[in-house]
A = this chain, B = another copy of it.
Amino acid sequence: MSGSTYGTQFKVTTWGESHGKAVGVVVDGCPAGLPLSEEMIQSYLERRKPGQNKYSTPRKENDTVVIESGIFEGKTTGTPISMRVVNQTQRSKDYSELASLYRPGHADYTFDQKYGFRDYRGGGRSSGRETIGRVAAGAIALELLKQLKITVTAYTKSIGTITIDYSRCNRENIEKSPVCMPDLEASRQAEEYLKQQMEKKDSTGGMVECIITGMPAGIGEPVFDKLDANLAKAVMSIGAVKGFEIGSGFQAASMNGSEQNDEFCVDEMQRVQKKTNYAGGILGGISDGSEIIFRAAFKPTPSIGQLQNTVNNNGEAVPIIVTGRHDPIIVPRAVVVVESMAAITLVDMIFQNMTSRLDKICEFYMK
């Protein structure tokens, strides 16, 4: 029991409920010497903030992060970095009627089964607000990766039945699209699609794709801690994710070996390369130096304004309409959460890899 800590060398511990005093995170294992400020962290948090466009909840949450430890004169000191965001929406009245009901698609029932009771206000610990801690920690991981010239870029690949067309994609468009789709035509169609869902008081799912560039070859441990296995866990631990795939992913199941195998070649700078990348940048659980590419499937937002049937904690059948205004889709706000979890995983595995070779350890300590 526990499970609020992720990572072995770069350890992230999130805490906080949606309607408690605050939510936060402690990052232990950040090396000394990284320039870091609240402004830097805040810029990542802005990307997951609600109320930014008409497809996200209009709740106003001024999620302002405060760094409370681990920084001295603008740089990390190597000691734990504690970050905290005060919850401003602590009114409980909106939620009290849900205290005894089990909302379909939510964790109400399973929390009650596990703990005997639950903090029913706004989802408590299973609220999307828990991801504030992930993004704050992810911001640090992303800044560390920058120092190693590694980039992590996620975007919306699909919303409902609307999928991006790679021939029209341009990463610079991610920020121009209100739904983080780098294909602006698909983005417009997706907005239309979302409008329809909102009219029906319904929601929809979607997919996030993530591309990592600049990864050195050799990162990942070959058996249980394969880099792709750890990415899968990291991404599947985001609420609402129902699937994860890397490279050719589920398509690989119907491919032949002669297609899936990426042939090796040598580029003009005599570096080993793969001609194709069905592997998605990882072979045998270890990065091969090419782009890492993975996708995650998100289920539709479970909070919908339609009438649904459910039961209460007395085992009585009751109807439910989830009031309040909820995002018709989780995906655009989840993009930065996916980047965060990927970055945290990469940093942890990059750190773990440093003891793979005796010659490098000797060089580290003895020069």
Interfacial residues of chain A within 254-296, with CB under 8 A of chain B in the complex? 254-266, 270, 272, 275, 278-280, 282-289
- How far in angstroms is the closest Cβ of chain B from A202? 5
A78 cross-chain contacts in B, Cβ below 8 A: 1, 114-115, 356-357
B68 touches A260 (CB 8 A): no
A50 at interface by CB-CB < 8 Å: no
- How far in angstroms is the closest Cβ of chain B from A273? 9
Contact with B along A210-238 (1 / 0, CB 8 A): 00000011111111111011101110110
A298 at interface by CB-CB < 8 Å: yes
Q: A264-B311, A311-B266 are in contact. Are A66 and B21 (CB under 8 A)?
A: yes
A249 touches B257 (CB 8 A): no
A246 at interface by CB-CB < 8 Å: yes
A interface residue count range (under 10 / 10 to 19 / 20 to 34 / 35 or more): 35 or more
A154 cross-chain contacts in B, Cβ below 8 A: none
A285 cross-chain contacts in B, Cβ below 8 A: 107, 126, 237, 239
A69 touches B366 (CB 8 A): no
A361 at interface by CB-CB < 8 Å: yes
A205 touches B254 (CB 8 A): yes
Q: A106-B283, A258-B304, A309-B265 are in contact. Are A114 and B353 (CB under 8 A)?
A: yes
Q: Identify A262's interface contact among B104, B283, B304, CB under 8 A.
A: B104
Contact with B along A58-81 (1 / 0, CB 8 A): 000000001111101001111111
A167 at interface by CB-CB < 8 Å: no
A34 at interface by CB-CB < 8 Å: yes
A258 touches B125 (CB 8 A): no
A111 touches B222 (CB 8 A): yes
B353 touches A1 (CB 8 A): yes
User: Which of A7-15, A39-47, A173-181 binds B?
Assistant: A7-15
A246 cross-chain contacts in B, Cβ below 8 A: 236, 242-243
A170 at interface by CB-CB < 8 Å: no
A315 touches B266 (CB 8 A): yes
B4 touches A257 (CB 8 A): no
A366 cross-chain contacts in B, Cβ below 8 A: 148-149
B252 touches A299 (CB 8 A): yes
A204 touches B255 (CB 8 A): yes
A2 cross-chain contacts in B, Cβ below 8 A: 9-11, 28-29, 221, 225, 352
Closest 9 CB pairs of A and B: A107-B284, A3-B221, A3-B225, A243-B245, A2-B29, A203-B257, A233-B233, A110-B286, A105-B261
Q: Identify A29's interface contact among B1, B28, B217, B286, CB under 8 A.
A: B1
